[in-house]
Amino acid sequence: MRLTSLTSPSFPPREYNTTVIVGGQFGDEGKGKVTHYLATDADIVVRSQGGNNAGHTIVSNGVTYKLHLIPCGILEPHCQCYITGGVVIDPKVLIGEIQGLKDKGIATDGRIWLSPAAHVILPYHAELDRLAEEAKGKSKIGTTGRGIGPCYADKTNRVGIRIEEFIDAKKLREYLERNIARINKQHGTTFDVDKMFNECQEWAATLRPYVKENLELILNDEIDQGKNVLFEGAQGTFLDVTFGTIPYVTSSSTIASGILAGTGVGPTKIREVYTINKAYMTRVGSGPMPTENTFVDNVTAGEFGTTTGRARRIGYFDAPLVRTANKVNGATGMIITKLDILDTQEKVKLCVAYMFNGKRIEELPIGTSDLEGYEPVYEEMKGWKCDTTQVRRFADLPGEAQAYLKRIEELCKTKICMVSVGADRNATIVK
């Protein structure tokens, strides 16, 4: 039985103007650059999960910006930037980032809004992150060390401190006393309530003007009014806490539905979901990566973590993995970035399937904790051996590059709607 939709013609849905930007791989796919490009037409850019484990590098008018918490829309003067309830906010980092933008002449006042529902990363979280990694020894996750996991753990354990409590001195004091007593007892640490309280009070005073009550309700109304809203995902599909390569994942849901869960916006209000994918693969931290192969060096490819500076692991494009990503994200389109990094390759190689226990597997299975024994099946195509960084139309790409992209579309079962051929905003091909 199918019930008639309760929405009347005078009530939404209408033509929503909303787009989710989600990483299709292991993070660092170039979501920052894509968001910045699409922000030209956006009214609002939203960050909804993760924290300052994320690192988005954007080149705007020749200036490089590294953002961890503030949505990339901040570089477009007409954009409003929302940080909604699903994000974990390190106040010190956020204040530093706001100051850094101000120093570069970017207006921030009245443009950045924080949800009272977002949880706060406190100084003890980074220490707990470090201790957890240390205890894991050889099987450590290789976290960014920013306290993300312990903060989300507190949230799930319902002992976290949200922005709402953080800016309320009485509650802050009460919660800190309770949490620090527990942590010091459990971990033998010596965190001092007075010291942390005073520090937090200072941060809270700086951040108070940025806090907006009912941010998510306002956002919903704005979506209904037809505002152009971009949801800027952080990390990537295979770092998702449910569907990633467990346990080598982050602590938030990084897929499209997780991004929405962090905003209080329902799935019926989303028009487009784009998975962002590099033309090859990278991964930072531990965990399986079936196509790992340093076929291009880190310096040439510019593959160092934005947050930690770690050299990223590099590999060939993994189509079964991206195909799964497109499926679990409900992708309406794919965006391919850093195609130009393959410009010098004699041959371009891509993984089209895996062999596992004598069986051919066309899409990465869900929730794989272990990819031991998954042998990539590779296909080699002729490289294009020429500079694509100046190309601005798909038809002007060398035939070999077009063939490579078409093969990716075919294997990943989703249309490519944009290709990036350089860090600068205009190094973009819209199909």
Is 234 near ligand IMP (CB under 6 A)?
yes
**Residue ranges in 256-285 that form contacts with ligand IMP under rule CB under 6 A:** 284-285
In a 3-state reduction of DSSP, which class is residue 31? helix
| From candidates 24, 50, 55, 422, binder to Mg ion by CB under 5 A | 55
Binds 142, which of Mg ion, ligand IMP, none (CB < 5 to 8 A, cut-off by type)?
ligand IMP
For residue 91, is the peptide bond before it cis, meaning its omega torsion is within 30 degrees of 0? no
* Pairwise CA distance, residues 281 & 313, whole Å: 8
**Interface characters, 143-182, with ligand IMP (x: CB under 6 A):** xx-x-xx---------------------------------
Residue 283: name the closest of 311, 321, 322 by CA: 311
Is 250 near ligand IMP (CB under 6 A)?
yes
Binds 284, which of Mg ion, ligand IMP, none (CB < 5 to 8 A, cut-off by type)?
ligand IMP
Stretch touching ligand IMP by CB under 6 A, among 86-94, 136-144, 361-369, 376-384 = 136-144
**Interface characters, 26-45, with ligand IMP (x: CB under 6 A):** -xx-----------------
- The nearest distance, CB 102 to ligand IMP, in angstroms, is 24
Residue 288: name the closest of 323, 316, 332, 249 by CA: 249
Which run of H or of E encompasses 357?
none
* Pairwise CA distance, residues 95 & 87, whole Å: 15
* Pairwise CA distance, residues 198 & 208, whole Å: 15
Stretch touching Mg ion by CB under 5 A, among 68-76, 100-108, 236-244, 298-306 = 298-306
Q: Which residues contact 396 (CB under 8 A, 6 or more apart)?
A: none
Q: How many CB atoms lie within 10 A of CB 197?
A: 15
Residue 118: name the closest of 21, 20, 205, 207 by CA: 207
Binds 341, which of ligand IMP, Mg ion, none (CB < 5 to 8 A, cut-off by type)?
none
Stretch touching ligand IMP by CB under 6 A, among 209-217, 244-252, 271-279, 315-323 = 244-252
- The nearest distance, CB 232 to ligand IMP, in angstroms, is 12
Stretch touching ligand IMP by CB under 6 A, among 2-10, 135-143, 161-169, 333-341 = 135-143
From 36, 56, 68, 125, active-site residue: 56
Is 149 near Mg ion (CB under 5 A)?
no
Binds 250, which of ligand IMP, Mg ion, none (CB < 5 to 8 A, cut-off by type)?
ligand IMP
Distance of CA 98 to the CA centre of its chain: 19
Is 232 near Mg ion (CB under 5 A)?
no
Is 414 near Mg ion (CB under 5 A)?
no
* Pairwise CA distance, residues 182 & 177, whole Å: 9
Distance of CA 266 to the CA centre of its chain: 19
Beta bridge partners of 67: 56
Closer CB to ligand IMP, residue 313 or residue 349? Answer: 313
Which run of H or of E encompasses 63?
strand 63-67
* Pairwise CA distance, residues 143 & 53, whole Å: 8
Alpha carbon separation from 170 to 37, 164, 179 (Å, rounded)? 43, 11, 14
- The nearest distance, CB 186 to ligand IMP, in angstroms, is 20
Which run of H or of E encompasses 233?
strand 228-236
| From candidates 94, 141, 200, 279, binder to ligand IMP by CB under 6 A | 141
Is 306 near Mg ion (CB under 5 A)?
yes
**Interface characters, 42-61, with ligand IMP (x: CB under 6 A):** -----------xxx------
* Pairwise CA distance, residues 59 & 45, whole Å: 17
Examine the residue annotation and report whether 28 is marked as an active-site residue of this protein: yes
- The nearest distance, CB 284 to Mg ion, in angstroms, is 8
Is 142 near ligand IMP (CB under 6 A)?
yes
* Pairwise CA distance, residues 350 & 281, whole Å: 10
Give yes or no for a contact between 343 and 385, defined as CB atoms under 8 angstroms apart: yes
Residue 220 sits at the vertex; the CA angle it makes with 218 and 225, to the nearest 5 degrees, is 95
Is 330 near ligand IMP (CB under 6 A)?
no
Which residues are catalytically annotated? 28, 56
Binding site for Mg ion (CB under 5 A): 28, 55, 306
Binding site for ligand IMP (CB under 6 A): 27-28, 53-55, 141-144, 146, 148-149, 234-235, 239, 248, 250-251, 284-285
